[in-house]
Structure formats: C-alpha cells, structure tokens
A = this chain, B = another copy of it.
Amino acid sequence: MDFLSGLELMIDSYQGKEQIFGVNLNPAIVRLSCEEGCVKVIEMARRLGVTADTVRFYTRIKILKPGKNKANGYREYSEKDYNRLRFVLSARQLGFSVEDIQEILNHADKKKSPCPTVRRLIDQRLNETEQRFAETLQLRERMQQAVVEWSQKPDKVPTGHMICHLIEEFAQ
C-alpha cells in the first residue's frame, strides 16, 4: 500500500537523519512516537509532493479532516487523509475545481457512486478548457505577430493623440 511505503520512506529518512547525527534508532520506536501511522502536515505534504500550505488549505476547507493531538494541538493525518489528498491531486490534474471535488467527495462519503457526477463535471470542464485553449491560442498568435511586426518599427515618443504607436497601430 502506498501509504505504508510512504511510512517506510519516512522511517528511512528518519534513519538517515539519525545516522547523520551518529545515532541508530529502531524504526519500531519511531513508529511509536506517533501512534498508528499518523503524520504531521509537513510530512504529509512531502509524501505527495506538495507544499504544507496546500495540505493546510485542504484542511481548512474540510476536505481533509485530520485528528488532533490533545497534548500539543498538532494535526495528525491518517491513511484516509493520505488517500483523500492523493485523490484530490489526481482530480486537480484532470481539471476539476476544488468545488467539483467537494461535490464528488460528498457522494463518495455517502457511499453513493460519484461516477455520474464525475462524467457530468468533466464534460463541463472540458468545454471550458477548450474555450480557454482557443483563447490562449489566439492571444499567443496575436502576440507573436506583434513581436514580428514591431521588430521592423522604430521607437517613438508619444504625441497628443498617440500613446504608443506600436500598440495603437497594431489594429485587429
């Protein structure tokens, strides 16, 4: 399981760290220091290659619901949080908005299939992406053309009715 390999990785990095400082620590003891596979925000972030701020953000908007260490108030992320965050990141890669993801998770949390919602949402988002793509393509072409045209033109000082001739003569 991915989370466990992440845990191993954490232990490895702890071991590596300890060896640097000349101490050998039993992995079982490391595991005990934070009972039953919990991790803190920075470790959670590292495991999935995002910043701690991203983990905090998803916690703030309640997509992640970590436990709380009564002693120090630190948040404890479980394997369930790990899976949720991994899911969130995959969904973001597919262009779903955070709100979409909340809707999808709401279905899943009620043990209902989120798939119809997912299919409906990706159609919408794909349309929007096609739109943005076309706009970005056009903008890019306009800009490229401007750079080319301007390379032939001199600089000019503004006049009463002309602020920058490059921009204003680039009529389209």
A113–B155 touching, CB < 8 Å:
yes
Copies held by the complex: 2
Tell yes or no: A146 within 8 A of B by CB: yes
Tell me which residues across on chain B come within 8 A of A70, comparing CB atoms.
none
Instruction: With a 10 A CB-CB cut-off, give which of A87, A140, A163 has the most chain B CB atoms.
Output: A163
A122–B143 touching, CB < 8 Å:
yes
Tell yes or no: A108 within 8 A of B by CB: yes
Tell me which residues across on chain B come within 8 A of A91, comparing CB atoms.
167
Known: A84-B163, A155-B113. A126 touches B140 (CB 8 A): yes
A150–B120 CA distance with the chains assembled, in angstroms:
12
Known: A104-B164, A147-B126. A142 touches B90 (CB 8 A): no
A166–B126 touching, CB < 8 Å:
no
Tell me which residues across on chain B come within 8 A of A126, comparing CB atoms.
140, 143-144, 147
Tell me which residues across on chain B come within 8 A of A166, comparing CB atoms.
115, 118-119
> What's the least CB distance linking A62 to chain B, in Å?
16
Tell yes or no: A129 within 8 A of B by CB: yes
Which of A22-30, A42-50, A131-139 faces chain B? A131-139
Tell me which residues across on chain B come within 8 A of A90, comparing CB atoms.
167-168, 170
A140–B150 touching, CB < 8 Å:
no
A133–B158 CA distance with the chains assembled, in angstroms:
33
Tell yes or no: A112 within 8 A of B by CB: yes
Tell yes or no: A93 within 8 A of B by CB: yes
Known: A116-B155, A140-B129, A155-B115. A108 touches B146 (CB 8 A): no
Taking CB as reference atom, which chain B residue is nearest A123?
B147
A163–B132 touching, CB < 8 Å:
no
